[in-house]
Amino acid sequence: MDSEWVIDAQDLEKSYGSGASRFDALKGVSVQVAFGETVAIVGKSGSGKSTLMHLLALLDEPDQGSLQVAGREAKSLSKRAVNELRNKEFGFVFQQFFLTPNVSVLDNVILPLKIAGMGSKERRRRGMEVLEQLELADKAGNKATTLSGGQKQRVVIGRALVNAPRVIFADEPTGNLDTATGAVVEDILFELNHNQGITLVIVTHDEELAARCDRQIYIRDGLIVAHAGSTHTGAHALVTAAAPTTAGGAA
């Protein structure tokens, strides 16, 4: 790609409701994420961090501002093109597992490939490769309900990984796990970054997890209030925020 940024967001605003019930979740936020780096978006519940991630990941649309993903302007794309871009470029790991309980582990992992139209034989081959990488090949035929919490989150990572994405978005990826299991899941994510160059954008309130990332972007009341670290190119994070208006924010 010509740009060093996989994500280039400028002056994003997002509100919910109208009139007296209007709620400003983001108030003019700019974020750039370089190919291959790891970025933590850090804030308390209600700060706006998950809203920001949803916009960056094309899961929602901003009211104002511009967003380029891998050099493509999101607002110029059709809904179908946005869906294809999201399915091809991104993988998702959420705090809730969102697995289909009564189908096999393998079928859960290969769902994005089925949506993308890949043939059955090839998607099963790719799915087994990912399960082997995550040391879950022996669970391929098991129902998701039979797995431990840590195993379920590894399946979620497998589903995020199966399309060979450029970026994995992880929203509180260890929030439902005990400390030891959470550490294993964290290690898997950072190994994917180190070994495969996958960009990680992690939403968290966990300072220790955030500290493992190249950069930390701190958000409060819909505004970026601080940042730390640097990009892989050595340039400091290019983040700005509008002046505070009213208190409040969104998760």
pLDDT tens, residue by residue, 182-233: 999 999 999 999 999 999 999 998 999 999 999 999 999 999 999 898 765 4
User: What's the pTM value of the predicted model, to 2 decimals?
Assistant: 0.86
User: What is the secondary structure of 27-56 as a DSSP string?
Assistant: EEEEEEEETT-EEEEE--TTSSHHHHHHHH
pLDDT tens, residue by residue, 134-158: 999 999 999 988 999 999 999 999 9
Which residue has 């809904």 as its token pair?
Answer: 79
Q: Is 160 exposed, middle or buried (0-12, 13-18, 19+ CB in 10 A)?
A: buried
Q: Which of 9-13, 83-87, 183-187 has the lowest mean pLDDT?
A: 83-87
Provide the greatest CA pair distance for the chain.
55
Q: Which domains are delineated in the chain? A: 5-241 (3.40.50.300)
Asked if residue 87 lies in contact with residue 163, where contact means CB atoms within 8 angstroms, the answer is: yes
Asked if residue 163 lies in contact with residue 110, where contact means CB atoms within 8 angstroms, the answer is: no
Helix (H, G, I), strand (E, B) or coil at 2: coil
Confidence grade of residue 242 (pLDDT, cut at 50, 70, 90): very low
